[in-house]
Structure 1
Amino acid sequence: MKTILTNKHISIETKKRALQCYIEPVLMYGCEAWTISKQIQNKLEATEMWFLSRMLRIPWTAKKTNERVLNEANKRRSLVRTIRKRQATFLGHVMRRGKREHLVTTGRFEGKRSRGRQREKIMDGLATWLGPGKVSDILAAVKDRDLWRDMIANAYKQGTWDDDDSLDK
């Protein structure tokens, strides 16, 4: 895809469509089961910016900020938000089904917890993304499909709640 993404004769809109159709699905394969920490989120955002810089033929030695690159591409950061949206949609399916996956996703199964700092759960990441509220409120909202779709759509439009400057990107 390098020859297509760096071609001078192809418009930036066509390059963005190629990126969205061919590269992002490969990058996001299985993202519904990921636990996205701040470090992984930063790497995903850096990857997204790397793709845009390659499409605009901006060398890595150029002193351009990410905001300038995004303005030149006429694009907002969307990779992490798309992943969170897919995770929330998948969570809705799992919770409404109510089988064994429900127990694993919510972390409510028997056993001893390991020593040290506990791993972040998928529910923790989605709770920060969907906005201020308790996990129990989110689990109650999953049962109502219309409410759940509205919550996901609002969170997708606004970005993440833990990033105050994500609206500007």
Structure 2
Amino acid sequence: MKTILTNKHISIETKKRALQCYIEPVLMYGCEAWTISNQIQNKLEATEMWFLRRMLRIPWTAKKTNERVLNEANKRRSLVRTIRKRQATFLGHVMRRGKLEHLVTTGKFEGKRSRGRQRVKIMDGRATWLGPGKVSHILAAVKDRDLFYNPFFIYNLT
């Protein structure tokens, strides 16, 4: 896709559409199950900016801020927000199903965790970007599909 994204004769709108259709889905494959830390979020945002700089043919030596690059591309950062929406949607599917996936996601199954630093649990990862009080709100809202899939509800999560 490098030849398409860096081609001078293709409009920026077409390049953005190609990025959205062909590259972002590959980048976000399986993102519903990720636990995104601040470090991973920064890397995702840097990747998004790297693509934009390549499309606009802006070298790294040029002293342009990310905000200026976003203004030139007439775009907002959307990769992390899209991942968060997909994670919220997937969480709704898992919680409504109510089987083994529900127990694993909420961490209510019996067993002993291994030694050492523990991995971040899925619900703990969601609580970092939702806020501790909103997780219970989400778990209650999951049962009402119309409320949960309301664009304003998911927009307020991100």
2:26 counterpart SS class? helix
Alignment size in residue pairs: 150
- CA contact 1:127–1:138 (8 Å) conserved in 2: no
Measured against aligned partners, the alpha-carbon deviations of 1:15-71 in whole angstroms (never above 9, x if no partner) come to: 000000000000001111111111100000000000000000001111111111101
Structure 1 gap ranges (5+) = 149-167
- Normalising to structure 1: TM-score of the pair? 0.82
Report the identity percentage.
93
**Counterparts of 1:23 and 1:45 in 2: how far apart (Å)?**
14
Question: What's the counterpart of residue 147 of structure 1?
Answer: 147
Question: What's the counterpart of residue 69 of structure 1?
Answer: 69
- CA contact 1:53–1:69 (8 Å) conserved in 2: yes
**Counterparts of 2:99 and 2:22 in 1: how far apart (Å)?**
34
Q: Which runs of at least 4 in structure 1 moved beyond 6 Å after TM superposition?
A: none
2:4 counterpart SS class? helix
Measured against aligned partners, the alpha-carbon deviations of 1:139-169 in whole angstroms (never above 9, x if no partner) come to: 1111111222xxxxxxxxxxxxxxxxxxx99
- CA contact 1:5–1:15 (8 Å) conserved in 2: yes
Measured against aligned partners, the alpha-carbon deviations of 1:58-92 in whole angstroms (never above 9, x if no partner) come to: 01111111111101101000001101110110110
**Counterparts of 1:126 and 1:146 in 2: how far apart (Å)?**
21
**Counterparts of 1:25 and 1:78 in 2: how far apart (Å)?**
13
TM superposition shift of 1:136: 2.6
**Counterparts of 1:61 and 1:74 in 2: how far apart (Å)?**
22
- Normalising to structure 2: TM-score of the pair? 0.87
**Counterparts of 2:123 and 2:132 in 1: how far apart (Å)?**
13
- CA contact 1:45–1:80 (8 Å) conserved in 2: yes
Question: What's the counterpart of residue 55 of structure 1?
Answer: 55
TM superposition shift of 1:116: 4.6
What is the RMSD computed on CA atoms of the aligned residues?
A: 2.2
**Counterparts of 2:112 and 2:129 in 1: how far apart (Å)?**
28
**Counterparts of 2:21 and 2:119 in 1: how far apart (Å)?**
33
**Counterparts of 2:127 and 2:13 in 1: how far apart (Å)?**
34
1:134 counterpart SS class? helix
Structure 2 gap ranges (5+) = 149-156
* Segment of structure 1 superposing worse, 118-127 or 63-72: 118-127
